[in-house]
Amino acid sequence: MNPRQSDLWDSIRYSYWFVPAILAILAAGLAFLTLQLDRQLDAATLASTGIIFNGGPGEASTLLSAIIGSMVTVSGTTFSIVIVALVLASSQFGPRLLRNFMRDFGNQMVLGTFIATFIYCLLVLRDVRSDTANPFVPHLSVTVGVGLALVSVGVLIFFIHHAARSIQAPYVIKTISKDLDTSIERLYPQRLGQDPPLHKVDRVEEDIPADFEAQAGQVYSPGSGYIQAIDTRTLLHLAIKHDLLVRLIFRPGAYVMKGQEVALVWPPQKIDRSLKEKFSQCFILGNYRTQEQDIEFDLNQLVEMAIRALSPAINDPFTAMMCTDRLGEGLCRLAARDFPSPFRYDNAGNLRVITDNTDFPHLVKASFNQLRQYGKESVSVTVRLLEVILLVLRHARNEEQREVLQREAEMIYRGSCEAITEPNDLDAIRARYDKILKILATARQTS
């Protein structure tokens, strides 16, 4: 699935209309099918089974009308509960997490089930005739309507449980953490062309023209917004087809304005206005960041939850520590992954694309910087931050990863020494910091 198809699918699954619309269509088809069966099957035989509805036209109309009225009422109540849940989530967890609630398949199915039952019974009620000349009671269809009403009762019970669970902090944190794991699996490693050939790893800069920055042609953003994704396949195809070298200035997640430079192309004399437009269309823009190609977005959601939990209005360090644990889990997995090179080559060994990649040090800073700043007065959060760094440090594979983790640990320790005055609390913090220094020393001796 290319980025544009993924963007379209995201816009669909984050809506409350798609699943209910599909279920409404299926309900209309089911009503047509059962009504056709009622016209073809013998009514007396159906009624004699003891399972199929065997009442008259008046009873059928009353029963279907009751189901229709109850479905309208329950649908309105369900919608009201969803709105309340969204308001609570926005105030407690942050407005950026609302999209996670919007895409909740359980809520969409509940609303769709109520609407489907309403439409089915409405279509069946239309065919119930009580005139003496040609009466018609769709016994099978009414029975199916009763069955759908019973299913709706079960769905309502599920919804009450699901709505209460979905606004609990541990559940929200787990959901975001699963999204982070999915993003790690999808993005690392991410292939765009080929890695530099082994004999070019140390000489890759030689493939970049000396006056590239000053003379390269410029590709401009087609609009304003956040870069939600970059169609890398099309971009690489264009670069190979026209024998070009492209350097991306921004990575997914960055905000760009209309007409702002987003890429540089070499040689400039080979590109025209039409080709520039094709390159600019490779950048998919939107009003908000998404996790399609922006792994920092998932990290930022956990950080935002933790910071809100540390605010004086909420004062919930336990939620902040749970977010910290999930951040540490994600960083441990990232430390074990190979981050793709920003220099991408074609099959012939020609440099085609230079990307603006997100590296491990950047993700560590994004995870800890704000937590360190807002949580330095909380002993429990500070201790947990150092414990998480110690855990990630055990998964570090090179000196670059160790250096950035050491830098974060040093800043956390200095901040706690300035903000915390209780000696026993400082001793607990210092003990964790000393463990980090010991692990660093051991790792550097053995490497």
**How would residue 344 be classed by pLDDT, with cut points 50, 70 and 90?**
confident
Q: What is the pLDDT of residues 73-128, one digit of tens each?
A: 988 888 888 788 777 777 777 777 777 777 788 888 998 999 999 999 999 999 88
Assign 291 to helix, strand or coil.
Answer: coil
Supply the pLDDT for residue 150.
94
What average pLDDT does range 234-262 have in this prediction?
Answer: 90
- Alpha-carbon distance of 342 to 192, in angstroms, equals 9
**How would residue 137 be classed by pLDDT, with cut points 50, 70 and 90?**
confident
Q: Are 3 and 230 in contact (CB under 8 A)?
A: yes
Q: Other CB atoms closer than 10 Å to residue 206's CB: what's the count?
A: 10
**How would residue 190 be classed by pLDDT, with cut points 50, 70 and 90?**
very low
Query: Of 87, 107, 290, 93, whose CA–CA distance to 172 is shortest?
Result: 93
Q: Are 102 and 15 in contact (CB under 8 A)?
A: yes
What average pLDDT does range 362-387 have in this prediction?
Answer: 92
Say what percent of the chain tops pLDDT 70.
Answer: 92
Looking at per-residue pLDDT, the higher value among 199 and 38 belongs to: 38
Instruction: Give the mean pLDDT of the chain.
Output: 86
Supply the pLDDT for residue 199.
43
Looking at per-residue pLDDT, the higher value among 42 and 128 belongs to: 128
Supply the pLDDT for residue 84.
80
What average pLDDT does range 38-47 have in this prediction?
Answer: 71
- Alpha-carbon distance of 360 to 400, in angstroms, equals 9
21 Cβ contact list (under 8 Å, min separation 6): 112
- Alpha-carbon distance of 98 to 84, in angstroms, equals 12
Looking at per-residue pLDDT, the higher value among 409 and 93 belongs to: 409
Say what percent of the chain tops pLDDT 90.
Answer: 37
